[in-house]
Structure 1
Amino acid sequence: MTGLPQAIRCLNLDAAAVTVSAALAERGVEAILLKGSGLAHRLGQERHRVYTDVDLLVAPATFDRAQRALADLGCRSAFPEGRPDRRSQWYEQPWRLPGALPLTVDLHRGFHGVADAEALWTVLAGSAERIALAGGTVVVPDEAGAALLVALHAAAPGRSDRPRTDLLRALDVFPADVWRAAATLAAGTGAVPSFALGLSLAPAGAALGVALGLPGVSPAALWLRAHRASPEAVVMAQLAELPTLRGRMRHLGPRLFPTSASMRHGSRVARHGPIGLLVAYLARLARKAGRLPAAVAELRDAERLRQRGSDGG
């Protein structure tokens, strides 16, 4: 967030959501505003909730067309060489909007914790509603879709406190039948583990999860991410959950050795020819190795806390 007053920034983000949605529609791409003003509308916080970017979901089949449309609008991909590292965060790509203000559109073709991105688009688009915004209109999820997304975001909050705040508000605002419908959406999109975990992060949500018959024990990697563990601890937990050595190597490889484009994007040293790239890779490996002892300790502590939580302690 820059020094720009939050209210003014949010107004500009709302205008961007309308403009980009309309531009995508002109190219035959439907888009759903996942959070921002749409979620504020669902939570009854139109004048209070702040947000920092525009999150638009498109059908997976139209994702590439949507990216071309954003490029035609003068937007610039925040990923190296105009594309994400498909071996990591495949479902989302940020685009910087042109203009004096540093505004970002996060283009989604899925969401964290969702195994079936096509199903997610189908269920959200099938019940989405159009609302007025910034002199135009945008399409937003219905209440059940919003409840699903709030819980999933709480399960992967990054470094922000906002997902938990949204969860607490949603638990106050949405009645039990909305959460029951959201649980059905989670089951249909392969998102039950993350949905259950997200709900469990608040006492009222944990009780609701029991009433809905949701699983009480979360996979270790999901639990660690929800509790803001280090990336190294999360990766180690993910490796332990994979059944084969081949699967573990395929998972670990891109995390130790990102693409050269990604390295050059994030490291000045890597931009200085082949030698610079090699030095950057070696420095990355050294940093990862240095963090291993702390990650192992994190895993031990997390497993104890996770099991205590599943036992109701």
Structure 2
Amino acid sequence: MMSEATVPMTPLWRDYLELTKPRVVALMIVTALIGMCMAVPGWVPWQPLVLGNLGIALCAGAAAAINHIVDERIDLQMARTQTRPVATGRISQRDAILFATALALLGVWILVMWVNVLTAVLTVASLIGYAFIYTMFLKRATPQNIVIGGLAGAAPPLLGWTAVTGEVHGHALLLVLIIFAWTPPHFWALAIHRREEYATVGIPMLPVTHGVRFTALHILLYTIIMFLITLMPFATHMSGIIYLVGAVVLGVIFLYWSVEIMRGRNEHAPMKTFKYSITYLLVLFIVMLVDHWVLGLMI
């Protein structure tokens, strides 16, 4: 652990904000918001829009804080995580646990009181899946950790949908399926770039256990699967031609980067793929939403 003299003097509120992984939570809330908007033909009612997203965000932040707590030892040994608040001691394990508990309880209370019980139950299930089943067990147990554990991270569109409608719908599950298929190529690209660090801390990521070439092949295969799944909203009449064009263009670019990783001639391809994958998901869902509203105006 860093000595007191080397611990960065960061304002405390920023340390607690960092515990919640705000960038990750922001992407999750965007996908939850898309789920809400896709669930209704017009504007989303203010209560699920504001309080639903707040409750989901608080629970997601709690899950992220638990990840910091559980991965303290690992974080200290990895370059991209060694300055995290719990790892450096800026926030103690006890305080981080209290913070995560408070966020989770407040988030669930908001969802139960002002949204609906179904959304609260599914949000808690997602929190348990990511913070405990994935972080505490799967992450250290199998190179398929990202594939199995990805379901928890894919839940936000479903949570957004149920927050508005109070029911699980096939179209909401299709949104979950898109993120579920997107997760392995997204994260394995980063894992290739960080494979030496994962090996050092004993995390059995696919590039560590099976090598870069094997992982690159799986990134390409999962990208193809993801590309085909992203065509399903058009095939099921959930979305129209605007979405189809956007999904094809974005998907072809993703396939290009997957092939670049497979070729192995560009050492920067894994990180470029990882960064593009974040843009890809965000833009894909925005295009889906634009298409939804355009179709709504035409009907």
Larger proportion of helix: 2
**TM-score for both structures, normalised by structure 2:** 0.30
Larger proportion of strand: 1
Question: Relative contact order (alpha carbons < 8 A, sep ≥ 6): 1 or 2 greater?
Answer: 2
**TM-score for both structures, normalised by structure 1:** 0.29
